[in-house]
Amino acid sequence: MDESDRFRKIVYDCLRKSGWQISVEKSDSMGDANQVKDYLGFTIDSGSMKVVAPSNKLRKLEELLDLNLKNVALNVNLLAKILGKMVSLIPSHGFFARLCTRSGYCAIEKHVAEFGWNGYVFLSQEVTTELNFFKEIMADKNGAPIRSALNDIKVEAILENPTSKQTQVQNQPVDKIMVSDASAFKVVSYDLRDGSEGDTISFNLDDEENGFSSGLRELLAIDSNYRIT
């Protein structure tokens, strides 16, 4: 018996002695213990400490976005479905999935308040930009850290002047963290490694970008090359 199976038996024994009933058909048997497991539509790898979405799930969402972003308006229920599929990827894509739905959900809320769940929602530039941005980064950003006390990212302070180099990050075993500050006039991205500040990218927003929502300005901070044209 290898070590993983020995620990499996210890866990099952502790649960049973604590009064819990184990669903045998849904649990690992002898020889099944593994660091890589498929669970609730995701692959959880306790070796790399990451959660990954299967490629077929991403491909279907990409096809759905490609098909519908050609339109100037979408049925409100269809747009809600697309945003829901994006939000469902939070375990594997982290906050990117939520960030890229902000304008879409605002558009849905405004439409539903006036017309209910009928009719079509106009796809503004901000909505299409966020959706296209997520489509482009979906594959590269697949693989978010497993949420645990060991890999919590704690940003102690981002001062009003982001170039003051006072930002501190603790408890981060990952190689790269992006912390952004997007004001109404400037975008600053931090590349933080080993708890210290690395490269800082800063640029002024043009007149059009100044009018963008905070969500779109945050996207510019995440990827400084993603300028709206």
| Residue 79 to residue 108: CA distance in whole angstroms | 8
93 touches 141 (CB < 8 A): yes
| Residue 147 to residue 40: CA distance in whole angstroms | 15
Helix-helix angle 125-137:102-115, to 10 degrees: 140
pTM (predicted TM-score): 0.62
Q: Phi and psi for 205 in degrees, rounded to 5?
A: -80, 145
Kindly list the domain boundaries of the chain, sorted by start residue. 3-52, 55-137, 148-222
7, 158, 167, 181, 196 from 149: Cα distances, Å: 21, 22, 21, 25, 20
Q: What percent of the chain shows pLDDT beyond 70?
A: 69
User: In the structure, what pLDDT confidence band is assigned to residue 188 with cuts at 50, 70 and 90?
Assistant: low
Please, what is the average pLDDT of the chain? Answer: 77
pLDDT tens-digit series, residues 35-55: 888 888 899 998 888 999 999
**What per-residue confidence (pLDDT) applies to 181?**
56
The SS3 call for residue 39 is: strand
User: In the structure, what pLDDT confidence band is assigned to residue 182 with cuts at 50, 70 and 90?
Assistant: low
**What per-residue confidence (pLDDT) applies to 79?**
96
**What per-residue confidence (pLDDT) applies to 110?**
92
**Residue 57: Cβ within 10 Å count:** 16
Within 13 Å of residue 99, how many CA atoms lie on the same side as its CB? 22
User: Tokens 């978010």 sit at which residue?
Assistant: 144
DSSP 171: S
pLDDT tens-digit series, residues 117-172: 999 999 999 999 999 999 998 999 899 888 754 444 443 333 334 433 334 344 44
The residues near 158 (Cβ < 8 Å, ≥ 6 apart) are: 167, 179, 181
